[in-house]
Amino acid sequence: MAKIEKLLTEEVRAGEGIVRVLEEAGIDMVFGIQGGNMGRLYDALYDHQDSVRAVLVRHEQLASVMAEVYGRLTGKPGVCTGQGIFMLANAFLGTLEAQFGSSPMLFLTDFSDVHPYTQHAPYQSGTGDYGGVDTRKALEAITKQTLVASHPNQAVHATQLAIKHALTGERGPVGVIYHSQALSGNVDPNARPFLYSTKNYLPSPQPADPASVQAAAAALRKAERPVIIAGNGVRIAGAYHELEVLAGLIGAPVATSASGKGVYAETADWALGVCGNFGQPTANHVIGQADLVLAVGTRLGPADTANENPALIDPARQTIIQIEVEPKNASWTFPCDVSVIGDAKLALAQIEREIVAEGAPTSDALAKRKAALDAAREAHNFFRGPDYDSDEAPIMPQRLFKELLAATDDDAIFTLDAGENRLFSVHYFQCKSAGSMLMPGIGAMGYAVPAALAAKLVYPERQVLSISGDGGFSMALNGIMTARDENIPIVSVIMNNSALGWVKHGQGNRTIASTFAEMDFANIAKSMGVHGIRVTDPSELAGALDEALNCGQPCVVDVVTSFKPSFRDVTSPLAAG
């Protein structure tokens, strides 16, 4: 057995020790704004610019979303950092996304304390003393775990433990709060408790119990009409290939939850699209007819199950198998016949091997299932409709999506915002490859632009486009400044109908506080020093998108879209049942 190495052999500043921990964990980016005692961390980052990039944002909200997306895409904890009191004020959006979406993330901040005066009318202090605020309580409410460091050695070790907690079991955000004394002093490598190499704290994905794998495989082999519902957990585990292989092996159509959209190509042979409240009629129909449902990396929440409508999922008439990394999430919504607890990538591969060993469905059985799927697609107009070719102006969303798909590479990444524009994207936009779409799980506006920034940093060779409504884009407008500052050439597509669409449509004829003044975002983009294109006619879309994707700089494409389509057009009848 290899000898356990110590982290440090010489005395260093606390910030230096923390940065070395990030390096050992393979974390190569930090997102934030320095301030307060956190400036000491940035002083250390100055000496490690070849290995850890410090990405400066204009607002802490962007930092938190970028960190969450970095974690979701890389499997390594994304790091957002800044001064405590302002991180509490501004950086909770991405943290909440990480909590609800199981993305590994570190929220590194300080108490902004002025030791030893924290009990005497503290200025900006978050230690919880009278007159200040309690940073720990605030963070504990929205993180998987929150750690406090009051000594330099503890600051380094707390960072290691935060990475461990963020990656163990169901992944999520972990907060680390540093006292001023923790960041201002030196780390003594000979002091107890000793500091060891960070690699010893990094967990390995856990395979599932063989007995549950055998039970799941047996049920899948026995099923006549199996279907798979895949969620964001497939993305977190990087299980795209394993999902595709198993689906093809057993002839199981694949639907996704809304937050799982993009984990399986919707152009693939067995694709159903998104299921649930705003899903494809094809997906809901096929799931409702299934005799077995395999849920992978999804909690089967109300929005994904048409508010638990038994016409969609019913454990009284269907066999339910659930693959989950967190035991508490299995049989949470519906009782399962088989719960497979483990990493989705490993568990899917285990089940696939078991089925191959025992005998996969015959080619005749696969052909019969594929014919049934094709018939369902035809009957329910799978990603088809007259508005995809509409020449109406203002522009119909479906026409915009058709042109976007035609203009972009197969592996292009799309990030979504919240609101009616997201519902249209979920329902009408057909993903061409696995791993191609990200959206806010909690449905918060202002997500798409910073998500696109992070995705482009992680995958600089791929096209990355954000799709926002005009409301959500306005909330993240400063992200375009970051795109220019940091030279991140994303394309931001705005569905601009001068309204909070979902809100205004829901108000009927009693509209209030839901209409915006007309805004030309292309000209605003130009004033920021990036490229801007305004599109008012559908015939201009192809040329505008080609120009945006090839201009070599950040670009805003402001598309004037129709207010005529409504969330009601994409709401499943099952959701009201």
Given a cut of 90, is residue 1 above it in pLDDT? no
Q: Which residue has the tokens 């008439």?
A: 317
User: Domain check: are 295 and 250 in the same one?
Assistant: yes
- 3, part of any domain: no
Q: Total structural domains in the chain?
A: 3
Q: What is the mean pLDDT of the chain?
A: 96
Query: End of a domain among 379, 404, 434?
Result: 379
Which residue type, as a one-letter code, is found at position 76? K
486: in domain: yes
Domain match, 409 and 449 both:
yes
What value does the mean pLDDT take over residues 109-124? 87
**Average of pLDDT values for 470-482?**
96
3-state SS, 71-125, equals HHHHCCCEEEECCHHHHHHHCHHHHHHHHHHCCCEEEEEECCCCCCCCCCCCCCC
Residues 50, 92, single domain; the answer is: yes
Q: Looking at the domain assignment, is residue 497 inside a domain?
A: yes
219 lies in the same domain as 355: yes
pLDDT at 2: 64
What is the Cα 356 distance to its own chain's centre? 33
The predicted-structure confidence for 511-560, as pLDDT tens digits, reads as follows: 999 999 999 999 999 999 999 999 999 999 999 999 999 999 999 999 99
Q: Give the CA distances from residue 294 to residues 222, 270, 313, 337, in Å, rounded to whole numbers and listed in that order.
A: 13, 14, 11, 10
Same domain, 347 and 398: no
Q: Residue 5 falls within a domain, yes or no?
A: no
426 and 549 share a domain? Answer: yes
Percentage of residues of the chain with pLDDT beyond 70: 99
Domain range for 355 is 210-379
Same domain, 467 and 552: yes
Q: Of 379, 400, 420, which residue is a domain's last?
A: 379
Task: Answer with the one of 140, 171, 201 that is the final residue of a domain.
Answer: 201
Q: Let me know if residue 182 belongs to a domain.
A: yes
Single-letter code of the amino acid located at 340: V
2 inside domain: no
Per the DSSP assignment, residues forming a β-bridge with 414 are: 437, 465
- 19-47 pLDDT tens trace: 999 999 999 999 999 999 999 999 999 99
| pLDDT one-digit tens code per residue, 305-333 | 999 999 999 999 999 999 999 999 999 99
Tallying the residues shown for the chain, one arrives at: 577
Q: Evaluate whether residue 250 is within a structural domain.
A: yes
Domain co-membership, 495 together with 545:
yes
Do 173 and 244 share a structural domain? no
Quote the CA–CA distance of 169 and 102 in Å, as a whole number: 10
Q: Which has the closest alpha carbon to 33: 11, 55, 14?
A: 55
CATH number of the domain residue 283 falls in? 3.40.50.1220
- End-to-end CA distance of the chain: give it in Å, rounded: 60
* Same domain for 538 and 440: yes
Q: With bands split at pLDDT 50, 70 and 90, how would you rate the model's confidence at 193?
A: confident
State residue 570's pLDDT score.
Answer: 95
> Does residue 17 sit in the same domain as residue 52?
yes
Q: Which residues contact 417 (CB under 8 A, 6 or more apart)?
A: 439, 440, 445, 446, 447, 448, 449, 466, 467, 468, 469, 472, 473
470 and 536 together in one domain = yes
Encode pLDDT of 125-151 as tens digits: 899 999 999 999 999 999 999 999 999
Quick check: is 296 in a domain? yes
| 93 to 28, 63, 177, 356, 488: CA distances (angstroms) | 22, 9, 18, 44, 21
Residue 577 has pLDDT above 70, yes or no: no
CATH label of the domain that carries residue 180 = 3.40.50.970
What are the tens digits of pLDDT across the range 359-399?
999 999 999 999 999 999 999 999 999 999 999 999 999 99
Fill in the DSSP letter of residue 515.
Answer: B
The pLDDT value recorded for residue 398 is 97
